[in-house]
A and B are shown apart, each in its own frame.
Chain A
Amino acid sequence: MIIKGLTVRFGAFTAVDDVTLEVPEGRIVGLVGESGSGKSTLARAVSGLVPYTGEIVDGDGVQMVFQDPYASLNPRMTVGASVAEGLRRPTPADVERLLGLVSLPPQLASRYPRELSGGMRQRVAIARALGASPRLLVADEITSALDVSVQGAVLNLVRGLRAELGLSMLFISHNLAVVRYVADEIAVMREGRVVEHGPTRQVVETPAHPYTRDLLAAVPRLPAP
């Protein structure tokens, strides 16, 4: 997918300002920036949830996974029914296959979201998005509402899905360490604009923009032994 000159305005406020960004086939592009930098609005525009001006080439087949797994599943629907929502003619076998993709047991299909932990719910949300065979998956802060103990498992899953299905992804997070771990490329947003974009290694090791350097310097690090 190629985003060309995308702009989102809310009244007089410009949330996303003339952004051009390419998400190549089978790559994970990480999007980082401070809150209010426009990264979530960009995600919603790409997913067709907010109106925008500009052009998106190959923009169909986008699915999104949301930040809060407690709000993104209908509490009155079973896990199986939620997962089947993106399928044309859902069969139990399809639901089982989708649950298998996110390493959940098929018995879970008859359960309700309230019986599941946050990490499991987020897997269900991912399975639901995968059901529509998306060409691009937008992940908006999908680990920030999760406990540290399950964050790692969800990040492993994301990387596994990329390797297994060749999924293209726009992975949004304010946590640089998380983005560095999962993304092939990193785009840095500030005040609605992309200020730097390049391969992960290059952006992390030799950042070109002063704001990127500032971000990197501010990442908290565990004291070295």
Chain B
Amino acid sequence: MRTPSGLAGAAIVALMLVLAVVGPPIWGDRAELIDPVAALQGVSAAHPLGTDNLGRDILARVLVAARLSLLLAALATAIGAAIGVVLGTLPSVLPRRLGRLVSSTVSALVAFPGLLLAMFTAVVAGLGARGAVLGIGVALAPAFARLTQTLAASIAGSDFVAAARMLGVSKATIVRRHVLPNIAEPLILNLTVMIGASLVGLAGMSFLGLGVQAPGYDWGRLLFDGFARIYVNPMVALGPAFMVVLAGLGFNLMGEALAKSATRSTVPKGAAPAAPAPEAGEADPEAVLEVRNLTVTFPGGVTPVREVSLTVGPGEIVGLVGESGSGKSLTAYAVGGLVPYPGVVGGGPVLLDGQDVHALPATERRKLLGTSLAMVFQDPMASLNPALKVGGQLAEVATVHQGATRAEAWQRAVDRLGHVRISEPARRARQHPHQLSGGMRQRAVIAMGLMGVPRLIIADEPTTGLDVTVQREILRLLREVTEESAAATLFISHDMAVVGSLCDRVVVMYAGRVVEELPADRLVSGAAHPYTRALVASVPDMSADRSLPLASIPGRQPGPAEVGEGCAFAERCALSTDRCTATRPPLEEHGKAHRVACWEAS
């Protein structure tokens, strides 16, 4: 609502409402005052919009007419909305065949010209304000019914409606209890726009002589009266026309601004805190990826990633684990320069092969990441365009970033598809993504990363949607690809068993910070942080004792805005002491290749 157009719309609507309330009492007498001497005058100081054939002041009449015009528009909208909601929800309540009949009738009516429908109804219902209001109401109904039906259908397909059906709740109750409350908001927003439409529609009806009849008058009627003189005294017609346009515009602008603000969640405003100064420390010359003190902040002081440092060597796979909201995905995205707006990456540096990625100019950074970063997401369709052939999408990498010709690029794409063990790569390259199985698509995405020479591979839950048998193959492929290209791989997962079986090292994150970093083979027996231990114990594996209850972690992880001074895990930790809640434990060496942030670590 804070946009200029939204504010303008709200101001116009407010003005119209005030006019409707105060107009008739203030200017009512003047609007009715008959003065034959002043009949049919043009613009003058006494009559800024001129006078009509009985010498009545047109400006006063325009201001007074606001009440009737708005009232009729509101009535017509109410009629349209009522018919629309009933027609729109009937298909969900009626037996299937009748429901279909109703919805195809609505479809036919939507295709029928609205003004024709309005005129037809008005003629049948009788000339005058009542006929016009009914006509416009009926003309608005089909579109509103269609909107209601579409919204209702999306709710009717939801799990909670399925649950209600299974519980034996009747169709009518489902509509009343589940469907209507969940579609009310967009419908009500749409009403505002509809009032604008019916205002214009009613003015049109009155202008055609089908609406308000003398001695009553609304804007449309005034326009009708003034139109005959438009070549002599244009203002007598333009005055009422201006009001129709202004009111219609106001309601439309406000409706659209309301609808926009309802769909977009607001971003809290406020200055992002300054990033902490990078800590001095010698870079590891062996490391492919080195991240120091990485911080991601969002406006309003929300910091989902706090001072994360990571090192990944050539051919090494490092697992990033933690609950959702721990900042593990965002950490990886920050490394790859993919933090969504309005997030800000601070701290650093992020060194890829010794080059500070974030210090590079935008074009060079894009080129560096375009050829040396490979991303594998949970949903391979997020990386593949469903409308393009698989081979073409791979080839694009080579033509854009490596300047290859189209034939060379296609050759390489086929070669890479074969390399990730997709059978008949030449045929598969000519297929579209939907013709490939889930596992094959994920292979194609990995092959896309192999079009260049990947230095960094970021895999975000790449096997979560896949079956165990396919998962095993994808994990094997990731391991091979990492080793042969000597790339650094960041593997993000919530599945401890997958991480434990694939990775060399594991980095455990909690509430935006690294709480433990240890070799993967020490996860089961050597984890020192109580959170890591609890995570491992809460996952059933194939050797879990079925007679014992599983471990679970009570409470919940604090949100990125709720992190306090002490250890973020203290509240859920059985070992926590006063010291834990007061001061945050630093991440410290804990034996070979093992770091932990816990005062009570054993």
Find the A residue at minimum CB distance from B467: A34
State whether A62 and B182 are in contact (beta carbons under 8 Å apart), knowing that A71-B159, A149-B534 are contacts in the complex.
Answer: no
Find the A residue at minimum CB distance from B549: A156
Q: For residue A131, which residues in chain B have a CB less than 8 angstroms away from its CB?
A: 167
Cross-chain contact B181 with A176 (CB below 8 angstroms): no
State whether A180 and B524 are in contact (beta carbons under 8 Å apart), knowing that A129-B163, A155-B550 are contacts in the complex.
Answer: no
Find the B residue at minimum CB distance from A71: B159
Cross-chain contact B551 with A63 (CB below 8 angstroms): no
What residues of chain A have their CB less than 8 Å away from a CB belonging to chain B? Answer: 34-35, 47-49, 62-64, 66, 68, 71-77, 82, 85-86, 117, 125, 128-129, 131-132, 147-153, 155-156, 159, 174, 176-178, 180-181, 204, 214-216, 218-225
A126 → B minimal CB distance (Å): 11
Q: For residue B553, which residues in chain A have a CB less than 8 angstroms away from its CB?
A: 149-150
Q: For residue B592, which residues in chain A have a CB less than 8 angstroms away from its CB?
A: none
Q: For residue A73, which residues in chain B have a CB less than 8 angstroms away from its CB?
A: 160
A159 to B536, CA, bound (A): 20
B115 → A minimal CB distance (Å): 37
Cross-chain contact A66 with B163 (CB below 8 angstroms): yes
Q: Is B357 an interface residue (CB 8 A)?
A: no
- The winner among A85, A151, A153, A180 for most chain B CB atoms within 10 A is A85
A224 to B541, CA, bound (A): 12
Cross-chain contact B323 with A222 (CB below 8 angstroms): no
Q: For residue A125, which residues in chain B have a CB less than 8 angstroms away from its CB?
A: 163
Find the B residue at minimum CB distance from A159: B549
Cross-chain contact A149 with B552 (CB below 8 angstroms): yes
Cross-chain contact B166 with A62 (CB below 8 angstroms): yes
Find the A residue at minimum CB distance from B538: A152
* Cβ contacts A to B, 24 pairs, < 8 Å: A35-B466, A47-B166, A64-B162, A74-B178, A74-B181, A76-B182, A77-B177, A129-B163, A147-B324, A148-B496, A149-B323, A149-B534, A149-B557, A151-B550, A152-B537, A152-B551, A153-B552, A155-B540, A177-B497, A180-B540, A215-B469, A220-B475, A220-B495, A221-B497
Cross-chain contact B162 with A49 (CB below 8 angstroms): yes
Q: For residue A66, which residues in chain B have a CB less than 8 angstroms away from its CB?
A: 159, 162-163
State whether A148 and B538 are in contact (beta carbons under 8 Å apart), knowing that A49-B165, A63-B167, A220-B495 are contacts in the complex.
Answer: yes
Cross-chain contact B498 with A132 (CB below 8 angstroms): no
A86 to B168, CA, bound (A): 7
Cross-chain contact B472 with A72 (CB below 8 angstroms): no
Q: Is B21 an interface residue (CB 8 A)?
A: no
State whether A220 and B500 are in contact (beta carbons under 8 Å apart), knowing that A153-B552, A180-B546 are contacts in the complex.
Answer: yes
A147 to B322, CA, bound (A): 9
A74 to B155, CA, bound (A): 10
Could you mark each residue 134-175 of chain B with 1 if its beta carbon is under 8 Å from any beta carbon of chain A, else 0?
000000000000000000000000111011111111000000
Find the A residue at minimum CB distance from B541: A177
Q: For residue B470, which residues in chain A have a CB less than 8 angstroms away from its CB?
A: 34
Q: Is B216 an interface residue (CB 8 A)?
A: no
Cross-chain contact A222 with B496 (CB below 8 angstroms): yes
The 10 closest A-B pairs by CB, nearest first: A152-B550, A225-B525, A34-B467, A153-B552, A72-B159, A222-B500, A152-B538, A152-B552, A86-B167, A149-B553
Tell which of A74, A155, A178 touches B160, judged by Cβ atoms closer than 8 Å: A74
Cross-chain contact A181 with B550 (CB below 8 angstroms): yes
A225 to B495, CA, bound (A): 18
Cross-chain contact B167 with A128 (CB below 8 angstroms): yes
Q: Is B521 an interface residue (CB 8 A)?
A: yes
Cross-chain contact A63 with B471 (CB below 8 angstroms): no
Q: Is B116 an interface residue (CB 8 A)?
A: no
A47 to B164, CA, bound (A): 12
Could you mark each residue 466-494 of chain B with 1 if its beta carbon is under 8 Å from any beta carbon of chain A, else 0?
11111110010000000000000000001
A225 to B521, CA, bound (A): 7
A49 to B435, CA, bound (A): 28
A117 to B466, CA, bound (A): 26
State whether A48 and B158 are in contact (beta carbons under 8 Å apart), knowing that A177-B542, A218-B469, A219-B468 are contacts in the complex.
Answer: no
Q: For residue A180, which residues in chain B have a CB less than 8 angstroms away from its CB?
A: 540, 542, 544, 546
Tell which of B163, B500, B549, B552 touches A128, judged by Cβ atoms closer than 8 Å: B163
A177 to B500, CA, bound (A): 15
Cross-chain contact A148 with B167 (CB below 8 angstroms): no
A180 to B543, CA, bound (A): 9
Find the B residue at minimum CB distance from A214: B469
B555 → A minimal CB distance (Å): 9
Q: Is B2 an interface residue (CB 8 A)?
A: no
Find the B residue at minimum CB distance from A128: B163
Q: For residue B163, which residues in chain A have a CB less than 8 angstroms away from its CB?
A: 63-64, 66, 72, 85, 125, 128-129
Q: For residue B521, which residues in chain A have a CB less than 8 angstroms away from its CB?
A: 223, 225
Could you mark each residue 294-334 of chain B with 1 if its beta carbon is under 8 Å from any beta carbon of chain A, else 0?
00000000000000000000000000000110000000000
Q: For residue B500, which residues in chain A have a CB less than 8 angstroms away from its CB?
A: 220-223
Q: For residue B552, which residues in chain A have a CB less than 8 angstroms away from its CB?
A: 149-153, 156
Find the B residue at minimum CB distance from A174: B467
Q: Is B265 an interface residue (CB 8 A)?
A: no
Find the A residue at minimum CB distance from B572: A149
Q: For residue B520, which residues in chain A have a CB less than 8 angstroms away from its CB?
A: 223
A174 → B minimal CB distance (Å): 6
Cross-chain contact A147 with B469 (CB below 8 angstroms): no
Q: Is B465 an interface residue (CB 8 A)?
A: yes
Q: For residue A74, which residues in chain B have a CB less than 8 angstroms away from its CB?
A: 160, 177-178, 181-182
Find the A residue at minimum CB distance from B475: A220
A88 → B minimal CB distance (Å): 9
A178 → B minimal CB distance (Å): 6
State whether A222 and B468 are in contact (beta carbons under 8 Å apart), knowing that A129-B163, A131-B167 are contacts in the complex.
Answer: no
B221 → A minimal CB distance (Å): 43
Find the A residue at minimum CB distance from B321: A148
Q: For residue A62, which residues in chain B have a CB less than 8 angstroms away from its CB?
A: 166
Cross-chain contact A151 with B468 (CB below 8 angstroms): no
A215 to B469, CA, bound (A): 6
Cross-chain contact A220 with B471 (CB below 8 angstroms): yes
Find the A residue at minimum CB distance from B546: A181
Find the A residue at minimum CB distance from B551: A152
Cross-chain contact B540 with A222 (CB below 8 angstroms): no
A17 to B578, CA, bound (A): 61
A101 → B minimal CB distance (Å): 16
